[in-house]
């Protein structure tokens, strides 16, 4: 990862990933990351340290909890897609008043379409 320190976009969708290496924190110029259709159960918190990150796609994972306060402090974040994740009700209640970006969520209990 450190070899690609100027990387602006990273697409890792559909790769059965369940965590990111800590080196992702070195991608200080990253603007967009697509981690959709993977196996994340925990929100990859390394993303919250990336100052240029504008778009996070975590659609169709297994994420229950999201660090809303850390996301709210991200200066460039514009959109986070959390559709089709089994998010706990607390995230749905806490997030809206704290965030200044678009948080895309599925209706509670919605299931992802079959591949």
pLDDT tens digits, 43-92: 999 999 999 999 999 999 999 999 999 999 999 999 999 999 999 988 87
Structure tokens at 99: 């965030």
Alpha-helix residue ranges (DSSP H) falling in the chain: 68-72, 89-98
CATH number at residue 9: 3.80.10.10
Q: Domain for residue 94, yes or no?
A: yes
**Domain housing 89:** 2-104
Q: Which residues make Cβ contacts (< 8 Å) with residue 107, sequence separation at least 6?
A: none
In the prediction, which pLDDT does 58 show? 98
Residue 30 pLDDT exceeds 80:
yes
Is the pTM higher than 0.95? no
Q: How many domains does the chain have?
A: 1
Q: Domain for residue 66, yes or no?
A: yes
Other Cβ atoms less than 10 A from the Cβ of 11: the count is: 12
Q: Domain for residue 111, yes or no?
A: no
Distance CA 88, CA 105 (A): 12
Q: Is 9 within 8 Å of 30 (Cβ atoms)?
A: yes
Q: Is 84 within 8 Å of 107 (Cβ atoms)?
A: no
Q: Domain for residue 112, yes or no?
A: no
Q: Domain for residue 98, yes or no?
A: yes
Distances (CA, A) of 36 to 18, 21, 63, 66, 96: 11, 17, 11, 15, 22
In the prediction, which pLDDT does 73 show? 94
Query: 79: closest CA among 39, 36, 21?
Result: 36
Q: Domain for residue 74, yes or no?
A: yes
Q: Domain for residue 90, yes or no?
A: yes
């Amino acid at each position: 990862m450190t070899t690609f320190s100027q990387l602006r976009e990273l697409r890792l969708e559909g790769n059965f990933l369940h965590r990111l290496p800590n080196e992702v924190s070195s991608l200080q110029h990253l603007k967009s990351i697509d981690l959709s259709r993977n196996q994340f159960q925990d929100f990859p918190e390394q993303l919250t340290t990336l100052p240029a990150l504008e778009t996070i796609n975590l659609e169709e994972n297994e994420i229950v909890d999201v660090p809303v306060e850390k996301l709210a402090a991200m200066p460039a974040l514009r959109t986070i897609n959390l559709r089709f994740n089994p998010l706990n009700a607390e995230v749905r209640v806490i997030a809206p008043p704290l965030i200044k970006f678009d948080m895309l969520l599925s209706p509670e209990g919605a299931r992802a379409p079959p591949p």
